[in-house]
Amino acid sequence: MVEREETVISDEEAAQYDRQIRLWGLEAQKRLRASRVLLVGMKGLGAEVAKNLILAGVKALTLLDHQQATGEDARSQFLIPTGSLGRNRAEASLERAQNLNPMVEVKVNTDNIRDKPEEFFTQFDAVCLICCARDVMVRIDHLCHTHNIKFFAGDVFGYIGYMFADLGEHEFVEEKPKVVKVGQGDEDGPQAKKVKIDPNETTMVKKTVKFCRLKDALEVDWRGEKAKAALKRTSSDYFLLQVLLKFRADKGRDPLPQSYAEDCDLLLQLRNDVMDSLGVKSELLPDGFISSCFSELAPVCAVVGGVLSQEIVKALSHRDPPHNNFFFFNGMKSNGIVDCMGSQ
């Protein structure tokens, strides 16, 4: 993780971030203001995360993407201006991103994430990967875990979205109502001290939580008795994610509307193969899933991007309990759940 000097909030910054300072405190804002974040993948979800982090007031945000803007990006990526078809996605996003908050240093990197050496990532306090291949996410999470860098990943597939966090051994503070002892008369006995929660007073409680690596979270052995019991309360979206990551690995892309029939057949076949390899029944992921995971829908990007960026802010500011470790959002059901997978 990056070593940094004591951060000083200027009068201008205090005015800019007044609402946030009131919400989570000056010290949390100072930690956020000293943080450098790498955001990889500037599709629709990446734009949502970038917007929220820039407005929150991190020190610097690097947008990394080696791909060009497509027609689909125009429907979900609001940082890319009209007429940018064929331009690098990160470069096309820079001007609008920087205009959101001139106090944040926004940079662009057009290299392929696969080509980046380990030392590149050590300049950041947090790394967030969006729309990346499974092997890339596992590799970068491993080195982030090793170097105590906060790691996040996220994706949106049609109505389905998810985020994952690996914060290593993470310390944070949580604001709790203050518990005080008060004297209270007792008609049947002497005055006694009783515990009471005072809603008007709060205290900050320090806590620590441990996270597992993405590899462990994705490679759960479902054949043991303990795992079989946990299977009953595990979201089917966890298995859908496994299928979609396998599709991306095999095809080098995500399911596309223009090849709907072909991709539906492949998704069903991959569902059977993936579920069999995990040791669970294919029926846990009903056939209907194929109709909900095409394209990148802007409303789903907004929901998942809001949660993902909030978790990054919480991790960097060390304020409030983080989601450990998956968040799944299903736009068809309009619900989101937090689920902890793998061993801590």
For Cα atoms 335, 337, 340, give the angle at the middle one, nearest 5 degrees.
Answer: 165
pLDDT at position 74 is 82
Which residue's entry shows tokens 């579920």?
275
Domains detected in the chain: 11-169+297-339 (3.40.50.720), 170-207 (no CATH), 217-291 (no CATH)
Strands of the sheet containing 335-339, edge to edge, are 105-109, 60-64, 36-40, 126-130, 150-157, 160-166, 326-330, 335-339
- Choice between 300 and 28, residue whose per-residue pLDDT is larger: 300
Which ranges in 37-88 belong to alpha helices (H)?
44-56, 73-76
Give the confidence band of 203 by pLDDT, cuts at 50, 70, 90: confident
Mean pLDDT calculated for residue range 230-259: 94
At 199 the pLDDT is 65
Q: Residue range 330-343: average pLDDT?
A: 91
> In whole angstroms, what is the distance from residue 325 CA to residue 314 CA?
14
Q: What is the pLDDT of residue 193?
A: 56
Range in 186-190, 221-225, 261-265 the model is least confident about? 186-190
For residue 162, pLDDT beyond 60: yes
